[in-house]
């Protein structure tokens, strides 16, 4: 049975930050029946000093019913998004980094208006909301980073992140807010109270001995 949360219900989103196709498929098969959405982390070394495995042709051939969002921690996201759109039929959303050195409004409007995908923007812990004011009312999702991008298992950056979530909800109550990085079971109640809609979980899931059971546990918690 596939897990389908309602639109108004907070959602756990398994995050895939992998080094190989084998690792990706193993993680996918472990959780695909207990979630309706996964996030693929994409790093190519251009924006942050890390890389990850993300082959859209290979991912498309794995055939899964779960929807996919891309978290693009790269300088030039458009060609990657277009490749995924061509090969991965369940692609739903692309999230680009506020820290890239490209005009963010042009990038987000291309994703939304030309490619016809939902679009999100991710902001690092130290990046203030005012940095993305020009697109805050046109994007579908804001992804607030609880840690610095690039590697799993980092500690959560604290109350400043919760304050950022609350501030954004105050400015735009209808905006879907996702938290990504450093989330533990203990943090989830305060994140939900702050207004989070989607909770990205990477190391908590995939470093556990049974990712499917851990995901079920997190789904029950929310």
pLDDT in tens, the chain (222 residues): 444 454 568 999 999 999 999 999 999 999 999 999 999 999 999 999 899 999 999 999 999 999 999 999 999 999 999 999 999 999 999 999 999 999 999 999 999 999 999 999 999 999 999 999 999 999 999 999 998 876 666 788 788 899 999 999 998 999 999 999 989 889 999 999 999 999 999 989 999 999 999 999 999 988
Pairing between β-strand 141-145 and β-strand 91-97 as defined by DSSP bridges: unpaired
* pTM metric for this prediction: 0.93
Is the CATH number 3.40.50.720 carried by domain 11-221?
no
Q: Domain spans of the chain?
A: 11-221
3-state secondary structure labels for all residues of 57-101: HHHHHCCCCCEEEEEEECCCHHHHHHHHHHHCCCEEEEEEECCCC
């Amino acid at each position: 049975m596939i897990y389908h949360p309602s639109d108004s219900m907070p959602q756990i989103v398994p995050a895939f930050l992998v080094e190989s196709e084998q690792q990706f498929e193993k993680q996918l098969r472990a959780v695909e029946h207990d979630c309706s959405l996964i996030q693929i982390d994409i790093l190519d070394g251009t924006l942050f000093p890390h890389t990850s495995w993300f082959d859209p042709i290979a991912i498309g051939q794995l055939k899964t019913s779960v929807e996919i969002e891309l978290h693009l921690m790269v300088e030039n996201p458009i060609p990657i998004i277009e490749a995924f759109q061509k090969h991965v039929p369940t692609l739903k959303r692309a999230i680009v980094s506020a820290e890239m050195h490209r005009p963010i409004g042009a990038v987000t409007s291309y994703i939304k208006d030309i490619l016809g995908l939902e679009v999100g923007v991710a902001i690092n812990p130290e990046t203030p909301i005012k940095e993305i004011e020009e697109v805050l009312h046109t994007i579908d999702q804001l992804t607030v980073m609880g840690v610095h991008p690039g590697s799993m298992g980092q500690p959560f950056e604290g109350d400043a992140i919760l304050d950022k979530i609350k501030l954004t909800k105050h400015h735009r109550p209808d905006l879907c807010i996702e938290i990504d990085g450093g989330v533990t079971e203990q943090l989830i109640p305060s994140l939900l109270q702050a207004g989070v809609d989607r909770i990205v979980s990477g190391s908590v899931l995939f470093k556990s001995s049974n990712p499917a059971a851990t995901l079920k546990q997190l789904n029950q918690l929310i």
